[in-house]
Structure 1
Amino acid sequence: MVEEPADNPYVRDPDTSFAPVDDLDAATAREQVRRLREAIEYHDYRYYVANDPVIADRTYDALFDRLAELEAAFDLDDERSPTRRVGGEPLDGLETVEHVVPLLSLQSSGDAAEIREFDRRIREAVGDVTYSAEPKFDGFSIEVVYEDGVFERAVTRGDGEEGEDVSANVRTVGSVPLHLRDAPEFLAVRGEVYMPRSGFQALNERRIERGEDPFANPRNAAAGTVRLLDPSTVADRPLDVFFYDVIETSATLSSQREAFDLLRELGFRVNDETTLVEDVEAVLDYRDRLMAARDDLEYEIDGVVAKVDDFEARERLGSTARHPRWAFAYKFPARTGETTVERIVVQVGRTGKLTPVALLDPVDLQGVTISRATLHNAAQVRDLGVHEGAAVRIERAGDVIPEVVEVVDDDAGEAFEMPGTCPVCDGPVVEEGEHHYCTNASCPAQLRRSLQHFCSRDAMDVEGIGEAAADRLVEAGLVESLADLYALDVADLAALDGWGERSAENLLAELERSKTVDLGTFVYALGIRHVGTERARALAAAFSLDELLDASVDDLLAVEDVGPEVAEAVVSYFDAEANVETVERLLDAGVDPERRDRGDELDGLTVVFTGSVPGYTRSELSELLETHGANVTSSVSGETDFLVVGENPGRRKRERADEEGVETLDPTDFEERILSRL
C-alpha cells in the first residue's frame, strides 16, 4: 500500500484559499507544484486503487486546478504531472513498438477434464504445486513500462511480438500510476483495461442522446477507446485497469504471490479476487464461485486463470511458441436462451461484407435483453437451418456477442437466401468462399470507412479527414464517392458544423497536395480487399494503372505474394463499373498516380527495424527502402544485414541480432550508412 506523504499540507484537510499567482516568485511556485503533484498522486491512489478517498471531490478539483494554473503561469509542465491525465493534442497515428518480452496467449477450455489434464502434466513435470487463481478479465490487454519509477510507455498486445504505442491514452486513466515511489530500476507490467458496467451504461446513454450509435459491449468500448487518436476524448471515458503480471523487472521475485505484493506496494490496482489454491479441484471450486457471482461484479469476466505460483517451477515448465505451459484459462460456458426469429435482414459492413442478422422476439439472457443476433454468413444459416419463424437457442459468444447456435423447433418455413444485389445500393454482390461482398466502393454503408482509409497517412495522407470529418462529409451529402473529395469548395466546407474558412482552406490545400502520389500508394488508398501496403507496391511494380484495370486472375497470380483470394478481389473490384468510374473521375480531377521504377541503390540489402526512427513511420521507411531495392522484414535471421534500433526498442530482436551476428545501427548510423545512399 502506498504510504501517505509526510508533512504535505494538501493531503489532510487542505486549505484551498490559495494566494494569487502573481504574488508568488518562481521558487515558491516550484515548491507548491511539487507538493501539489505529490498530494494529487496520493489522492488518485486513494480514489482509484484503494477506493477510500480522504478528501471531497470538490477539494480535489481545487487542488488540481491550482496545479494546472501554476504549471501554465510558470512554465512548469512535466510528463509525470497528474495534469497530463486530462489528455492532450490529437495524435497523428499509433506507432508500432516491440514488447519487452513476447506477450503469449493462454491455453483455454471450458471443459473440466482439460484443466485436470493440464494439472496432471504439471505435476508429472515438477511435482506438487500451488496455483495462483485469478479472474480472467474480458477487456483489453496492455504492457506498461516504467524506468526509474517513471511511466515510460504503454503498448497494446498486438500480435504478441509488437503492439501499438498508446501511452498518451493510457496516461489519462486514473488507476495507472505515473510515478512509482521506491520502485525497481526497470519494471514492465501487464494489465487489463476495461470499462466498468455502470460507466459503460452511462456512456451509451450519452451517445444515444447525441444521436450516435451505442457501443455493443464494454470490451469493445474499452478496446476502441484505448486506440483513439484523441487523448482528450479518452480522458472523458470511464476506463479502469487491473494489473495482474510483472512481465520483467530488475527486482528479485520468486512467485506470483510476490509479484502481486510488489504491485500492491507500488500502488497498482490489483483485483481482490486473486488467491492461492492448493490443487486443481480448488481451481474448479474457485471458477464455480466466480461464475455464480459474475453478474454482481462491476467488471466483465469470462472465466478464471490458474497459474503455477512458483517462478522456478515455471522456468522448468517453459513455453510453447504460443503459450506458457504453466498457465491455463478455465472459461465460463456461454450464456444461452431460447426465442423466435422474427425476421432475417442483411447488414452491410464498412468493408462491403454482407452479414445476415436475425431479428429476435426479445429475450432476457442473464439480465440482458437480446433482440438481434449474428448469423455470420449464408453457410451458417444453411447449416443451422435458420429461417423466419424458427425457434432458436442463442448464446452470448465470448460472453458478450449474441449468436444463434441451434434451431430447437423447426416449422419448415421458407429457406433464407442471400440477395443478389446490395440491399443498400443495389450494387453487384460477389461470393468469396463462405462470404458475400458488395463490390461498389461508393455504397453509403462503406463510404465513411472508405473515405477515412483513402485519406489516412499510409494512403493519400490528407490531414484533416478522420472519422468525425468523414462522417460529416457523408451525412451532409458532400461526398458520395471518393472522387467527390476533389470537387469540394470552401463555401460547402465552411458551412459544416465545427468548420470555418481557414479549416476549409487547409483541407483543400491538403487535397491539392495529395494529387501527386505514387501508384502503389494510390492502389492501397482505393481500399481493395486483401490489398495492404506491401501488396499494393507489388502490384504497382508489376502493372501500370491501365494494365491493372484490365488484369485477369491469371495475370495477377503471376505477381509474388498474390494468391487466388487476392487476385479475385482485385478483379472483382475493377469489374464493378462504379469503381472504374471513381478511378476515372479521380484522374480527371488531377490525381496523378506515378509509377515509380524500383531503384537498385540498396539491391539485396535486408533490414529489420525495432523501435521508432524519428521523423518516419514504419510504413514510410519500408516503402522508402523497398523502392530502392532493399528487403524489409519483420524478424531477424541469419540473412539480415542490419537491425536498426530506434527509440523504445524491444529486447527480443536485439538478442536475436547478437545471436546471429547481425550488425545494429542507431538512427544516426542508419541515416549515414543507408539513407545517405538514396
Structure 2
Amino acid sequence: MTDSLLNQQQAAVTEKLELDVSLEKIEVLLEAETHDSANDLLVVLQVANALYRAGIPIFDDQKYDNLSAKLTQIDPENPFLTSVEPEVLIDSKTITLPQKMLSTDKAYSFEEIKKWTERLVKAGLELGIDASQIALKITPKLDGYAAYDDGEILYTRGDGNKGQDITRAFERGLQVAKGLGKGLGPGEIVIKKSYFDDVLSSKFENSRNIQAAIIAEKKIDEDIQKAIDDGACVFYPFSGLDKWTGSIDELLSDFENILEKMWDVVDYDIDGLIIETTHEEIKAHMGATRKFHRWQIAFKVNHESAEVEVVKVTPQTSRTGRISPVAELVPTKLSGATLSRATVHHYNMVKTNGVGPGAIIKLVRSGLVIPKIEAVIKPATAELPEHCPSCNAHLIWESDHLMCPNKSDCPAQSENTLIHFFKTLGNVDGFGPKVIEKLTQLGVKHIHHIYALQDSKFVGYGFGEKTAQNLADQLRASREIEIEDWRFLAAFGVSRLAGGNCEKLLQHHTITELFGLSVEEMVKIDGFAQLSAEAIVEGLDNIKEEFFKVYDLGFNLTATPKVSDMDSANSAIAGKLIVFTGSMTQGSRSDMEKEAKSLGAKVGKSVSGKTDYLVTGDKVGENKINAARDKGVTVISENEYFALLS
C-alpha cells in the first residue's frame, strides 16, 4: 500500500484501541469489499466506531450499520453487538454514570416500525392495557456527542455504565440549549447547522470534529471557543427537545406526515428520529437488553437521489413569520413516490445557489422523509419575493431568512402571535396553545380582541361556565399583576426584539417613546447595528396600532431603570458583568439578577474572559471556580457580594 488510508489523527485514535492487529492489517480490512470472518468484521467495526466518535469518521452511518448487520448474521452473540458502543477515548479516568445510557435499536422502514408497535401492543395485553392507552413520543435523534449532566458533573456516555468527567466543557462556557437549567440528565453536545455552514464549514470537515474538540483536555481552538461564546455549541438535554405525542394508531395512519413535521424541528444535525412509549408500566415490563431499551427505537433513513428541474419557487409564510421557499418541480419518481415539490432551506440558499425556474438540482429523499435539495447542479436566476404572500407586508432579511415583520395583522401568524404573547407575558394561566387555537378558529385574531372577551362570550364559544369565568378572571389578573415593561414589549414578538434587546432600549427610552425612535437614534445605543435597528423600527411600526390598543387597557408595568438612574446610584457594580451560580440563600437567583440590573450591572449566564464577578452560592464545584479565576474573573461568595453592595 503506497498511501495510508488512515491519516495521522485517525491512526493515533486507532492505536489507542490496542487491538491485537497491526495498523497495516487494519487498513487492509477497512478497504476490503467483503469480510469472511467475525474477527475481521469486529476489528473494522471497533475502528469505525472509535473514529466516528472522535469526529474523524472513516465510514458513513449506512455502511457501518450494514457491517454491523453482517456481524449479527455471523456471530449474533458477539459482545460488541450486545453492549453500548463506547464513546471516544479520553485520557482521563472513568467514573460511574448516575444513570445507564444505552444505545438505541434502529429501523429503516415503516414495516420495521409497525413490527415494533406490535411488540408494544403485546406487552400492553400482558398487562391488561388497551392499545389505545399506549402513548408514544417522537423526538429528533441528535447527531452529536452523547453526555450526561447531573447538575454538578458532565459525563461522557462511555460504555453506558462508566464515562469520563468533561465538566470542563461547561467551564469553557458551554450553555444548555433553550436556556434550560443544569441537571437534566442525558443529552448531546451539538452545534447549530446554520452556524457551522456559515462560519466553520471552511475550517472544519464536519461538525463532529468540533463536538470532540469541545470536551478535549488540550487547549481549545479559538474558532470553537467563539462558537461556544456565541451560543452555537450547546448541551441539549433530551428532555428539552420538541416532541410529537400521540397513539399507535395516529403514528401508523399518518406516519409520513409526522416524520416530515419532526425532521426539521431543530437547527442541529440529526441522523433519525427516536420513537418511544411514555407508558411507564409498559417500559418497566419490556425492559432492556444490555444495549437497547426495548420500548424505544430509532427510525433512520436510506438515501436516494435524482437530478430534477425546477419549475418555480413559491413563497409560503409560516406561523413564525418566516417565508419558506418551496420549489415546484418537474414530477419525478424517487424512492417509490412521484415528487413535484421540495422545501428549500431558506431564501439565502435560493439567492446564493441560484434556485430558480430552469435550475437543475440534486434531489434527495431519505426513506419516507420530505425531499431535500442536496446540491444545485445548474443554477438559474433566483426570484425573491418582496412582500408577504399572506398579508402583503414588506419583507425584511433576518440572517438567512426573509421574514414578515407584521406580527399583529398577518393572517398566517395570528395564532402564533397570540401564543407567544401569553407565553412571554408569563403572568396568566389558561391561554395555552389549545385555547388559542380554538379562539382563532372562531375568528379571534388579535390580542386586544381576547382582552375584550367576557365570561359570557367564552361560554358562547363553547367553554364551560366555570372555565369561562376562570379565563375572564385570568385576563383581568394579567393586567393587575406587576410585570416588567421589557417583558410586556417582548411579548409582541417583534423580530430582533427579544427580552435582552427590549431591556437595552428601555434603559434609554420609555416604552411609548420607542415607537417614535428613528434608525439613526437606535444605532447610537450600544448593541444595535444598522440592520438590526432597521428591522426593529419597521417591526415596531407594524405592531404600533395593536400595541397601543393593548397598552391602553392599563397593565401594571414596572419601568426599566434608565442608564442615568443607574449612574446616579453610584453602585459598586454599575457597568460590571456579573454571573450568579449555585444555590442562593438570601433570595432566588432571578431576584438577585433583577436587583443587579437595577443597580446598573450586566448579568451573564456563563463565565467568559469579560466577566467581572462570579458570585457563588452553595454547591459550586471547585473546577468551575478555578476555571473562572484562570480567566481573571473575581470570584466572591454570596455574603461578599452583599457586602460589596453595601
Measure, in 2, the Cα distance between the counterparts of 1:101 and 1:571: 42
Structure 2 residue 613 is the aligned partner of structure 1 residue 641: yes
CA distance in 1, matches of 2:439, 2:324: 26
Query: How many Å apart are 1:523 and its aligned residue?
Result: 1.9
Residue 555 (structure 1) aligns with: 521
Q: Deviations over 1:209-231 (max 9, x none)?
A: xxxx745255457999x9xxxxx
2:506 paired residue among 521, 537, 540? 540
Q: Which amino acid letter does the alignment assign opposite residue 417 of structure 2?
A: S
Q: Gaps (5+ residues) in structure 2?
A: 1-101, 107-115, 131-177, 214-230, 271-275
- Paired amino acid for 1:603: I
Shift of 1:580: 1.2
Change (3 A) 1:519 1:602: farther
Look up the match of 1:494.
Answer: 459
Q: 3-state SS of the aligned residue for 1:590? A: coil
Instruction: Quote the offset at 1:451 in angstroms.
Output: 1.5
The answer as to 2:515 corresponding to 1:581 is no
Going from structure 1 to structure 2, the CA distance change for 1:490 and 1:357 (only over 3 Å counts) comes to same
Equivalent of 2:437, from 450, 464, 471? 471
Q: Structure 1 residues 345 and 55, CA, compared in 2 at 3 Å: closer, same or farther?
A: closer
Say if 1:390 and 1:427 are closer, same or farther in 2 by CA, change over 3 A: same
Contact 1:99 1:650 in 2 (8 A): no
Which one of the candidate residues 298, 315, 318 is aligned to 1:349?
Answer: 318
Partner of residue 535, structure 2: 569
Q: What is the match of residue 595 of structure 1?
A: 559
Relative distance call for 1:207 and 1:452 in structure 2 (3 A) is: farther
Alignment of 1:7-406 (within 5 A): 57-58=123-124, 60-62=126-128, 95-97=180-182, 104-105=189-190, 160=233, 163=236, 166=239, 203=251, 205=253, 214-216=258-260, 219-220=263-264, 235=278, 267=290, 269=292, 299-300=299-300, 335-367=304-336, 370-388=339-357, 392-395=361-364, 402-404=371-373
1:489-527, CA deviations, whole angstroms, 9 ceiling, x for partnerless residues? Answer: 213323456x42333333333322333533211221121
Q: Distance in 2 between matches of 1:646 and 1:369?
A: 61
Residue 536 of structure 2: SS of its match in structure 1? Answer: helix
Identical-pair percentage:
23
**1:449 corresponds to which letter in structure 2?**
N
Contact 2:313–2:383 under 8 Å retained in 1: no
Instruction: Check if 1:454 corresponds to 2:421.
Output: yes
- Residue 459 of structure 1 contacts residue 522 of structure 1 at CA under 8 Å; is this kept in 2? yes
Q: How far 1:355 sits from its partner (Å)?
A: 2.4
Name the amino acid aligned to 2:606. S
SS at match of 1:451: helix
Q: Which residue of 2 aligns with 1:253?
A: none
Alignment partners' CA distance in 2, 1:606 and 1:408: 49
Structure 1 residues 655, 163: CA separation in 2 closer, same or farther (over 3 Å shift)?
Answer: farther
Contact 2:494 2:540 in 1 (8 A): no
Counterpart of 2:127, as a letter, is: D
Mapped to 2, the partners of 1:523 and 1:200 lie a distance apart of 42
- Secondary structure, in 3 states, of the residue corresponding to 2:412? helix
Deviation string for 1:528-561 (max 9, x for gaps)? 1122211111111111123210111121112122
Partner Cα separation in structure 2 for residue 95 and residue 434 of structure 1: 26
Within 2, Cα distance between the matches of 1:236 and 1:395? Answer: 36
Partner of 2:596: 625
Q: Out of 511, 517, 520, which is 2:483 matched to?
A: 517
Equivalent residue for 1:481? 446
Q: Distance in 1 between matches of 2:623 and 2:331?
A: 51
Query: Separation in 1 of the partners of 2:449 and 2:427?
Result: 16
Measure, in 1, the Cα distance between the counterparts of 2:626 and 2:238.
22
The TM-score normalised by the length of structure 2 is 0.53
Residue 628 of structure 1 and its aligned partner are, at CA, apart by: 3.3
Deviations for 1:399-441, whole angstroms, at most 9, x for unmatched residues?
966333556679x9xx663343321122333356764322211
Q: For 1:379 and 1:58, how far apart are their aligned partners in 2? A: 49
For residues 201 and 393 of structure 1, do their structure 2 counterparts lie closer, same or farther at Cα, with a shift above 3 Å needed? farther
Q: 1:471 to 1:407 in 2, by over 3 A?
A: same
Please report the TM-score for the alignment, with normalisation by the length of structure 1.
Answer: 0.51
- Who is 1:422 aligned against? 388
- Range with bigger deviation, 594-603 or 537-546: 594-603
SS at match of 2:384: coil
C-alpha distance in structure 2 between counterparts of 1:481 and 1:439, whole Å:
15
Q: Secondary structure at the match of 2:512?
A: helix
Against the structure 1 CA distance between its residues 623 and 373, is the aligned structure 2 distance closer, same or farther, given a 3 Å change threshold?
Answer: farther
SS in 2 for 1:449: helix
Question: Is 1:438 the equivalent of 2:523?
Answer: no
Gaps of 5+ in 1: 1-44, 65-92, 123-157, 171-192, 227-232, 241-263, 272-296, 303-333
Q: Please, what is the CA RMSD of the aligned residues? A: 5.5
* CA pair 616-101 structure 1, distance change in 2 beyond 3 A: farther
